[in-house]
Chains A and B, each alone.
Chain A
Amino acid sequence: MSKVVYRKSGRRAGVPLLAVSALLLLGLTIANLAWPKRDMIELENRKAAQFPVFSVEALWNGRWQSEFARWMQDQFLLRDTWINTQRAADEIVFQKAEEDGILLGKDRWMFTKLFTIGDATRQQTAKNVQAVAEFAARYPGKVTFLLAPSASVIYPEALPAGAPMADENALLDDIFAQVGESAAVIDLREPFTARKDEYLYFKTDHHWTTNGAYRAYEQFCARKGLTPFDRDAHEAVTVVDFQGTHYSATRLWNVENDTITYYPLPNQMTIYNITGEAQYEPLKTENLINTDKFATRDKYAAFLDGNNGYSVIEGDGKGSILVVKDSYANSFIPYLTANYEKIGVVDFRSFKYGLDSTIEREGYDEVLILYNFQTFISDTNLIYISRPTTLS
């Protein structure tokens, strides 16, 4: 646009455009000064940059300047609205099929973009498979391995046209075959595909729904010969307007909000502080569902009050089970109260010991390993599971 032709009368016509632009620039600059600053950007689930502390050294190497720039960027007025506008333009005007690593599918589905599984991830997957298989071999007949497939495997037809997704099916087959040699494996692809008309996965979040978790739990019960939790005998509570992590990334302009269903149970859960290998101090005891979290954006964190290193739940059944898990299990575990007396929950993201000592000291009869595919293949903490005990 370097040689725009201007009318001879440009002198007059120029002033309104200039005035409007100057007003816009000055208006936004001044309004931004007065705009309230915040600590958290909730929609992006991260801390907002704060005004940088001045030091000569930071000024010398430019760190102060770049932190100042980040502060301006994070604290800019109406930040969320600007981003929503940008995303909407991408989605409506430019018809983008992808936003910030999330694919925009048909019927307002959103999926995690997984086009390649890099070498580093493949190596990690191999390590994780090996660790799980080794661990399971130590407890013959006691370990169950449940790996939830990605939503895109169950609803491939909803993916954007031609999306070159990595072959998750092949990898799942491979993982199940290897782990299956020493553990009982539960492959949900068939049962989920058979029930794909049901509400199995959130559209706006990377988790499954409470119903999806229940269908997985049914498979678990069938395998174990247990009588499943009776949903009809319990009153379900529904929380509306859930917008999960996929939405935070895409800000889908015509988003279809999700709903979260849960069953208020009287069972209590104790969250422990981990002071050493197999050494636990009770931190707090509360309900399985922390309903306070439903008032925040991160509503899924209500289940088991988020991800904690080690917690124990009092169930109404017999025997005990230790669940090794990622966040997918959080909406699954409440159903287990119908079958076990004691349910231990380990999340290796804040649990850095082998599992043998805990199984022995806390006396667990069985182990359930529950992950979703995408966490499982890249998780760097699961390898602790087979680590030998350091206790004598």
Chain B
Amino acid sequence: MVFNSVVFLFCFLPLALLLYYIAPGRAKNAVLLLESLVFYCWTGIEFLPLIACLVVFNYLWGLLTAAARAKLRAVLPLAAVLVNLGVLVYFKYANFLIETLNQLASSQLAELEIGDVLPLGISYYIFKIISYEVDVYTDKVEAERNPLTFAAYVLFFPQLIVGPIVKYRDMAPQLHKTSGRCTLPQIERGVELFVFGLAKKVILADSIGALWTDIIGAGGVGLAAVSTPLAWLGILAYSLQLYFDFAGYSEMSNGLAAMLGFDCAANFNLPYIAGSITEFWRRWHISLSSWFRDYIYIPLGGNRKGQGRQLFNMLLVWAATGIWHGASWNFICWGLYYFVLLTIEKLFLLNHLKKGKVWPHIYTLFFVVLGWGIFTANQPGAPLGLLLQKLFVPQGGISPVYSLRNYGVLLALGCVCSSPLPRWLWGKVSRILPLKIVLFVLLTLLCIAYVVAATNATALYANF
């Protein structure tokens, strides 16, 4: 069930909120768990045993880790991480590994019959679970004693499909609040965040994304037929779509969390205004970057063990970031591409970037947009070689005139909404309450119109 669907907005959400609000404080987590289970089972019950086993195992393991004596303790989290990662690798990467192995060693290993679809949200909840296990081990947080509360954290429906990967330690205080968990201003903030996220997803992402699908999608004109300017326009549109899709979904998630009484940190902070790649990654998918920083980069020594070791740690983090996005070579290349860029910045470029005013932004945007070209190269119709040739060898073909005519206003709006301007404007509008309410209701109604009219495009990031 995606958030931008009629069934979620006008069946699940009102029921879920109503039940949650009328439930007494001590029962709220149980209600939340029940609702999350319904949400999880919406795509089928097949994978329920999997997540149930993971929850039970990790619940017990967490308690064990907390209770175990010093010597045994070092082994416990390692085992937990291996088990959880093992599940992720099995479902997400096994066939990719077998395929690669078959190619390298020309062996004939049969592919596993796992099915075409990943278990819903597995990349996200496995990372949430690992953060819990490691934090319990490092005493950052106490092991959860109530299995229902732990299950409610893992299955928390606002974060189930596309994250963000909120750590247990950040949600624990609110999960343990038995009275006054929800306050009206917080719910109001959640509603606002949710509607803005919904607007990003259904009005901007889905509409702008159609430009790229017009080119590479089934029945599209085909990448081979387009001119260089149209190829750039296409990849730019894809970049905007990816941002609004994912940031919109994250905002909806955080909005829902706020309505339920949880304050979660923003997952995106206007990434396209960054003045360096380093800064870009502090603004894009913040929960994932911070997960990699906390559970790979820093445990490996971060920057405390000399520059050589630091670069090696970065290499590992960025290879992992690439692989996390999917079992495909283009994602690994994409991760390493960022490793190279970040290394260059770390070694010397960052100092120059800090002095520049305009060019660092152009430089950042150029490489980020190009990066999305590599990122999208696993889609049929967008082979990387052809895309690069279209982008960098100037050539004729279908001109961008029609795409500009059809998507011009949306693209301009997309660019404006990637900047701090709307935030500033909304701050101004908020001072005039009637205007704020009228605009908000209009935006909400418009979102509903787009939801009803759409064929329910799922989140791009649900597949990762």
A285 at the binding interface (Cβ < 8 Å): no
Residue of B6, B191, B214, B220 touching A18 (CB-CB under 8 A): B191
Residue of B184, B406, B409, B441 touching A20 (CB-CB under 8 A): B441
8 Å CB interface, B1-33 against A: 1, 5-7, 9-11, 13-14
B207 at the binding interface (Cβ < 8 Å): yes
Indicate if the CB atoms of B185 and A11 lie closer than 8 Å. Answer: yes
A68 at the binding interface (Cβ < 8 Å): yes
Indicate if the CB atoms of A1 and B196 lie closer than 8 Å. Answer: yes
Residue ID in chain A nearest B191 by CB atoms = A21
Indicate if the CB atoms of B184 and A14 lie closer than 8 Å. Answer: yes
B43 at the binding interface (Cβ < 8 Å): yes
Residue ID in chain B nearest A89 by CB atoms = B446
A2 at the binding interface (Cβ < 8 Å): yes
Q: Which residues of B contact A162 (CB under 8 A)?
A: 399, 401-402, 404-405
A24 at the binding interface (Cβ < 8 Å): yes
Q: How far is the CA of A3 from the CA of B189 in the complex (A)?
A: 10
Q: How far is the CA of A164 from the CA of B250 in the complex (A)?
A: 37
Indicate if the CB atoms of A82 and B448 lie closer than 8 Å. Answer: yes
Write the nearest CB–CB distance from B199 to chain A, whole angstroms: 9
Q: How far is the CA of A68 from the CA of B8 in the complex (A)?
A: 11
Q: Which residues of A contact B46 (CB under 8 A)?
A: 60-62
Indicate if the CB atoms of B449 and A72 lie closer than 8 Å. Answer: no
Interface string of B254-288 (1 = CB under 8 A from A): 10000000000011110000000000000000000
Residue of B43, B219, B220, B446 touching A62 (CB-CB under 8 A): B43
Write the nearest CB–CB distance from A126 to chain B, whole angstroms: 19
Q: How far is the CA of A234 from the CA of B196 in the complex (A)?
A: 61
Residue of A13, A25, A62 touching B433 (CB-CB under 8 A): A13
Indicate if the CB atoms of B449 and A82 lie closer than 8 Å. Answer: yes
Write the nearest CB–CB distance from B207 to chain A, whole angstroms: 7
B301 at the binding interface (Cβ < 8 Å): no
Residue ID in chain A nearest B192 by CB atoms = A4
Indicate if the CB atoms of B193 and A2 lie closer than 8 Å. Answer: yes
Indicate if the CB atoms of A1 and B401 lie closer than 8 Å. Answer: no
Q: Which residues of A contact B422 (CB under 8 A)?
A: 1
Q: How far is the CA of A326 from the CA of B296 in the complex (A)?
A: 65
Q: Which residues of B contact A66 (CB under 8 A)?
A: 43
8 Å CB interface, A1-47 against B: 1-7, 10-11, 13-18, 20-21, 24-26, 28-29, 32
Q: Which residues of A contact B445 (CB under 8 A)?
A: 85
Residue ID in chain B nearest A100 by CB atoms = B453
Indicate if the CB atoms of A164 and B437 lie closer than 8 Å. Answer: no
A160 at the binding interface (Cβ < 8 Å): yes
Q: Which residues of A contact B221 (CB under 8 A)?
A: 115-116, 164
Write the nearest CB–CB distance from B443 to chain A, whole angstroms: 11
Indicate if the CB atoms of B189 and A60 lie closer than 8 Å. Answer: no
Indicate if the CB atoms of A17 and B6 lie closer than 8 Å. Answer: no
User: What is the number of residues of chain A that contact chain B, defined by CB distance less than 8 Å?
Assistant: 56
A62-B42, A76-B6 as given contacts; A5 in contact with B427, CB under 8 Å? yes
Indicate if the CB atoms of B188 and A17 lie closer than 8 Å. Answer: yes
Interface string of B171-189 (1 = CB under 8 A from A): 0000000000000110111
Q: Which residues of B contact A95 (CB under 8 A)?
A: 408-409
A196 at the binding interface (Cβ < 8 Å): no
B57 at the binding interface (Cβ < 8 Å): no
B444 at the binding interface (Cβ < 8 Å): yes
Q: Which residues of B contact A1 (CB under 8 A)?
A: 192-193, 196-197, 251, 422-423, 426
Indicate if the CB atoms of B441 and A28 lie closer than 8 Å. Answer: no
Q: How far is the CA of A272 from the CA of B118 in the complex (A)?
A: 52
Say whether chain B's binding surface is mostly helix, strand, loop, or mixed. helix
Interface string of B106-150 (1 = CB under 8 A from A): 000000000000000000000000000000000000000000000
Indicate if the CB atoms of A60 and B398 lie closer than 8 Å. Answer: no
Interface string of A162-192 (1 = CB under 8 A from B): 1110000000000000000000000000000
Q: How far is the CA of A21 from the CA of B430 in the complex (A)?
A: 16
A82-B453, A97-B402 as given contacts; A116 in contact with B220, CB under 8 Å? yes
Indicate if the CB atoms of B437 and A17 lie closer than 8 Å. Answer: yes
A2-B251, A4-B427 as given contacts; A14 in contact with B44, CB under 8 Å? no
Q: Which residues of B contact A82 (CB under 8 A)?
A: 448-449, 452-453
A86 at the binding interface (Cβ < 8 Å): yes
Residue of B44, B423, B441 touching A61 (CB-CB under 8 A): B44
Interface string of A72-86 (1 = CB under 8 A from B): 110010010011011
Q: How far is the CA of A77 from the CA of B88 in the complex (A)?
A: 42
A123 at the binding interface (Cβ < 8 Å): no
Indicate if the CB atoms of A7 and B453 lie closer than 8 Å. Answer: no
A87 at the binding interface (Cβ < 8 Å): yes
8 Å CB interface, B306-324 against A: none
Q: How far is the CA of A100 from the CA of B274 in the complex (A)?
A: 36
Write the nearest CB–CB distance from A25 to chain B, whole angstroms: 6
Q: How far is the CA of A90 from the CA of B407 in the complex (A)?
A: 10
B436 at the binding interface (Cβ < 8 Å): yes
Q: How far is the CA of A21 from the CA of B197 in the complex (A)?
A: 15
Indicate if the CB atoms of B254 and A98 lie closer than 8 Å. Answer: no
Q: How far is the CA of A125 from the CA of B5 in the complex (A)?
A: 39
A14-B185, A29-B10, A160-B402 as given contacts; A60 in contact with B44, CB under 8 Å? yes
Indicate if the CB atoms of A86 and B266 lie closer than 8 Å. Answer: no
Indicate if the CB atoms of B42 and A97 lie closer than 8 Å. Answer: no
Indicate if the CB atoms of A11 and B184 lie closer than 8 Å. Answer: yes
B456 at the binding interface (Cβ < 8 Å): yes
Q: How far is the CA of A164 from the CA of B398 in the complex (A)?
A: 7
A69 at the binding interface (Cβ < 8 Å): yes
Q: How far is the CA of A161 from the CA of B399 in the complex (A)?
A: 11
Q: How far is the CA of A94 from the CA of B207 in the complex (A)?
A: 10
- Could you pull out 16 A-B pairs where Cβ atoms are within 8 angstroms? A1-B197, A4-B423, A4-B426, A4-B427, A5-B427, A7-B431, A15-B184, A16-B437, A17-B191, A17-B192, A21-B195, A61-B45, A76-B10, A82-B448, A85-B449, A98-B406
Closest 10 pairs between A and B when the two form their complex, measured CB to CB: A162-B401, A62-B44, A2-B266, A14-B188, A162-B402, A86-B453, A82-B452, A1-B196, A86-B449, A69-B7
B residues at A contact (CB < 8 Å): 1, 5-7, 9-11, 13-14, 41-46, 184-185, 187-189, 191-193, 195-197, 207, 214, 219-222, 225, 247, 250-251, 254, 266-269, 398-399, 401-402, 404-410, 413, 422-423, 426-427, 430-431, 433, 436-437, 440-441, 444-446, 448-450, 452-453, 456
